A and B are shown apart, each in its own frame.
Chain A
Amino acid sequence: MATCHNCHSELVETVESCFTCGWYIGPPNVREVKKEVERLALERRYENKITDLCETGDLEAIRGFEEGVKASCAVINMSIDFLYHFLSYKKAVYSTYGLSVEGQIRIPAKKEDASRRRSIDAMLFADYGEQIRFAALSLDGVGPKSYGPYSIKLREVTIGHRATLLEENSYSFVPKHGINSESGIPLGYRAAWDERHKLAVCKLAESIVSEKFDDLSKVLLSSNGDYATDDFIEVHIFGPFDANAIESVKGRTIAPDQKLEYAMLERIKELLKMAGKDWVEE
């Protein structure tokens, strides 16, 4: 059991600060993947993969991809309504007319349920699942379209210190590895933000060398609009963020004859511009 640097009390693994002295110890997901045993397991997988590539003469083929992933970003996809609200809900002119009732759905959502303890959430994050926000790792700023056509690229400075990565979408990861409430998560399949390239190499090196891809971004993240077949490296961000965390939004401009969505998107673009964020045409 780890102890607090400040007061030497035993630390609870699933919280951000020491219960005894309040000393900030960092996001629990990051502490978890930065444990020696987890890091060594990832390092071992990565080294083995590199060794294999050296033997087959394919190392060069993978280096470009690896360098690209070092500069990759976390993206979240949204519908136009979601994005519209996300960008404006804090502005007084809009919030004046919103009549949100605090706690309306929080209470039912918090009710403990036996089945929840068996959920993917509980298996991956123990007690801090409600603090995790999900994103996908992307090379080109385009995220999984099954979640919406607009990809929000998050500023690295706002999430890098509190983000970890899972080799694939947790919906497929848990059944694939036969994880249950008694078994742990296999070692070497998670990474801290600054080691995301190693995870990507472990996962995708074989695909990259065996097939010729024109667009490596589609190898890192493939989505045809169906949750079941989406394939990406999942980013787990500890804690909330707001519209200031956005670096840019990528999507397709809507034709003016679709009057309603066109107006909504034009407004979105102006709000982005006002906030100093980029609109990127896909």
Chain B
Amino acid sequence: MIEQAFISGPLGKAVYKEDGQFYAIGVAAFEGPVECRRGDLSFLLELGAEFIEISGENITLDDLRSALEQERQKHRALQLLVSGFDADLTEETRRLCIEAAEDLLEDKSVWSFVRNRLMSRVIPSVADTRIAKEFANLEATYKAGRIYAEVLNSQSAIESLLRFLGEATRGKYKSEEERASIEKRLIDVGVFAEMVAAIRAGGPYDIESKIQTHLSDLRFNPGSPLRDSQKTKTEKVTNISLTQPVPSGETQESIGIEVKETRFTTPTITVQPIQVSVVLDSGVFLIDVRAEKQFDCQIGYFAPEFKVYADWKTVEGPDLTQAQIGIRELTFRIIAADGKERTDGVVISEDLRKHLLLRATLYEGEAYSPPVIPARFDWILNFNSGYFRSSNVKARSFKQCHGYTHQPTDRRKFFSDVAQDVVIHYNLADGERLEIASGNNVLWDSSRYRDVTKRFDIEIIGSDATAENYFRDALDHKGHDYWIINGDPGPIGGRP
């Protein structure tokens, strides 16, 4: 008779004890039971895999297999979505993993498990979130995208919560094992994710009572040190709410914990925002522009020349010779009055989505569609906020060139209503500024012009001579014939 069993979803194995001997089974009927020798057990344990314990009367092998299968699916889905962050994997495999998780995420319990886990930890610094962002932009299509979008937007809230809980429970557990066990339960029942969502929402939220309620539900033993610690913590944090991410290095009392009773309103002075527009007359979008909301946007550019106007008067633009050595990225960022960077994400207007010529459109029906080689650009322009729209929409013609001789063939293509420019709009609220930076070096800063009250216009101009750069050199033709614009190059969507 099985009375106690341990299930490991990540390993796809369950171990149970019967008549004093351990046995192992897998999900399939042919996978055991087989005697689990002490060495086998050690092997399972040293892999750092998670186990959940099942105990009760008359547990059958079918019960075990069914529970094992459920756990296995949860961990498979989690691993696949975490693979989306794995910088060691190719982008193709990362996409494959995320897409493969979709069917698993149909199951609500799997979906909740994955969300709860990803909302419980800050994404590690070694992770690469580019592909996750790509799916997050397609959250309406992908269940994984929904999770990624929430997780990516919750990083500062997760960091705040972890820091807060670390402070509040320091020294309150009997052992690290007990801390890990309790935290795991809170994460897996969704309390963590709920708290993170509440912090993001910014409303008053009593973390302490929420935890207390759930711990009672989980029937922790009365002697639990967390229960003891709750008294202390309750005294300390009753009637408070976390409303802001916790900046590092600050004390608990000053980390945005706000006493409800002392809230009051202060008179405000309305200041008209300063408008900023950035005009791009060429460039290759390195993101898929077909989604309206994007976390950020990279645009490859050749030989950019800046013209900047402050309240319609010419002023000095960024000096690219002062760029940080080794960095070829120019980052456009809005810095709020409190010194924090605004990372609202970018919005691609319907108008731009309709009129930006895509590489896939230019090469539609061709045997080979050359991918973009980002390393070829002189600069990558990087935006993490702003409203992108099309401008100067007109008909453009393209000629085909021979892949090796670069001489025009007799083929031509015409496209009506193609965006010749892209304009990016910002509104700078009182105290906000726009920076153009290269790594740590700020090359241009709107706050230098304190007299400006209306607007900045920044034009990034390329010459006609760069058409070959954009339509030939930046693409991996592999000797195939290629298409090039006649005259002044306009922007193009590189993906797809």
Q: Could you list which residues of chain A lie within 8 angstroms of chain B, going by C-beta atoms?
A: 79-82, 84-86, 88-106, 108-109, 113-116, 119-121, 125, 129-134, 146, 148, 171, 225-227, 240, 259-260, 262-264, 266-267, 270-271, 274
Asked if A270 contacts B35 (CB within 8 A), the reply is no
Residues of A within 8 A of B86 (CB): 91, 93-94
With A93-B86, A109-B22 known as contacts, the answer to whether A104 contacts B37 (CB < 8 A) is no
Asked if B12 contacts A116 (CB within 8 A), the reply is no
Interface size in chain B (residues, C-beta < 8 A): 70
In whole Å, how far is A106's beta carbon from the nearest beta carbon of chain B? 6
Interface residues of B in 173-190 (CB under 8 A from A): 176-177, 180-181, 183-184, 187-188
Asked if B180 contacts A108 (CB within 8 A), the reply is no
Asked if B6 contacts A104 (CB within 8 A), the reply is yes
Residues of A within 8 A of B30 (CB): 146, 225-226
Asked if A98 contacts B48 (CB within 8 A), the reply is yes
In whole Å, how far is A28's beta carbon from the nearest beta carbon of chain B? 13
Asked if B48 contacts A129 (CB within 8 A), the reply is no
Residues of A within 8 A of B34 (CB): 146, 227
Tell whether B121 is near chain A: CB-to-CB under 8 Å: yes
Residue of A nearest to B72 (CB): A81
In whole Å, how far is B131's beta carbon from the nearest beta carbon of chain A? 13
Interface residues of B in 1-23 (CB under 8 A from A): 4, 6, 10-13, 15, 17, 19-22
Tell whether B367 is near chain A: CB-to-CB under 8 Å: no
Q: Name the residue in A90, A129, A263 with the highest tally of chain B Cβ atoms < 10 Å from its Cβ.
A: A263
Interface of A is mostly: helix
Residues of B within 8 A of A263 (CB): 80, 93, 96-97, 99-100
A89 vs B93: C-alpha distance when bound (angstroms)? 18
Asked if A274 contacts B37 (CB within 8 A), the reply is no
A274 vs B87: C-alpha distance when bound (angstroms)? 11
Q: Give per-residue flags for B455-487: 1 if the beta carbon is below 8 A from chain A beta carbons, else 0.
A: 000000000000000000000000000000000
Residues of A within 8 A of B269 (CB): none
Residues of B within 8 A of A266 (CB): 93, 96-97
Tell whether B117 is near chain A: CB-to-CB under 8 Å: yes
A129 vs B26: C-alpha distance when bound (angstroms)? 23
Tell whether B248 is near chain A: CB-to-CB under 8 Å: no
Residue of A nearest to B104 (CB): A260
Residues of A within 8 A of B85 (CB): 93
Tell whether B126 is near chain A: CB-to-CB under 8 Å: yes
Interface residue from B35, B42, B124, B176 paired with A120 (Cβ < 8 Å): B35
Quick check: which of B49-57, B411-419, B434-442 contacts chain A, the rest being far away?
A: B49-57
Tell whether B217 is near chain A: CB-to-CB under 8 Å: no
With A85-B11, A260-B76 known as contacts, the answer to whether A101 contacts B184 (CB < 8 A) is yes
Asked if A121 contacts B38 (CB within 8 A), the reply is yes
Asked if B124 contacts A92 (CB within 8 A), the reply is yes
With A92-B126, A114-B20 known as contacts, the answer to whether A129 contacts B38 (CB < 8 A) is yes
A74 vs B53: C-alpha distance when bound (angstroms)? 33
Residues of A within 8 A of B11 (CB): 79, 81-82, 85
Residue of B nearest to A119 (CB): B21
Q: Give per-residue flags for B38-52: 1 if the beta carbon is below 8 A from chain A beta carbons, else 0.
A: 111111011111110
Asked if A115 contacts B41 (CB within 8 A), the reply is no
Asked if A260 contacts B35 (CB within 8 A), the reply is no
Q: Which 8 A-B pairs have the closest CB atoms?
A: A263-B100, A81-B12, A115-B20, A132-B39, A113-B20, A130-B38, A129-B38, A99-B184
A232 vs B266: C-alpha distance when bound (angstroms)? 81
In whole Å, how far is A164's beta carbon from the nearest beta carbon of chain B? 13
Interface residue from B45, B83, B118, B184 paired with A109 (Cβ < 8 Å): B45
Residues of B within 8 A of A116 (CB): 20-21, 38
User: Beyond A113-B21, A263-B99, A267-B96: 17 further Cβ-contacts under 8 Å?
Assistant: A79-B13, A81-B12, A81-B75, A85-B10, A89-B10, A97-B120, A99-B184, A100-B49, A101-B50, A101-B180, A101-B181, A101-B184, A240-B42, A240-B43, A262-B96, A263-B93, A267-B89
Residues of B within 8 A of A98 (CB): 10, 48-50
Asked if A270 contacts B72 (CB within 8 A), the reply is no
A97 vs B48: C-alpha distance when bound (angstroms)? 12
9 CB < 8 A contacts A-B: A93-B126, A100-B180, A101-B181, A108-B17, A109-B22, A133-B39, A146-B34, A266-B96, A271-B89
Residue of B nearest to A274 (CB): B88
A226 vs B33: C-alpha distance when bound (angstroms)? 11
In whole Å, how far is B192's beta carbon from the nearest beta carbon of chain A? 11
Asked if B21 contacts A96 (CB within 8 A), the reply is no
Interface residue from B48, B93, B180 paired with A95 (Cβ < 8 Å): B48
Asked if B180 contacts A99 (CB within 8 A), the reply is yes
Asked if B4 contacts A108 (CB within 8 A), the reply is yes
In whole Å, how far is B31's beta carbon from the nearest beta carbon of chain A? 8
Residue of A nearest to B13 (CB): A82
Tell whether B78 is near chain A: CB-to-CB under 8 Å: yes
In whole Å, how far is A199's beta carbon from the nearest beta carbon of chain B? 20
A120 vs B47: C-alpha distance when bound (angstroms)? 24
Residue of A nearest to B26 (CB): A79
In whole Å, how far is A242's beta carbon from the nearest beta carbon of chain B? 9
Tell whether B254 is near chain A: CB-to-CB under 8 Å: no
A101 vs B218: C-alpha distance when bound (angstroms)? 17
Asked if B39 contacts A131 (CB within 8 A), the reply is yes
A248 vs B205: C-alpha distance when bound (angstroms)? 53
Asked if A260 contacts B184 (CB within 8 A), the reply is no
Q: Name the residue in A99, A101, A115, A121 with the highest tally of chain B Cβ atoms < 10 Å from its Cβ.
A: A101
Residue of B nearest to A240 (CB): B46
In whole Å, how far is A211's beta carbon from the nearest beta carbon of chain B? 28
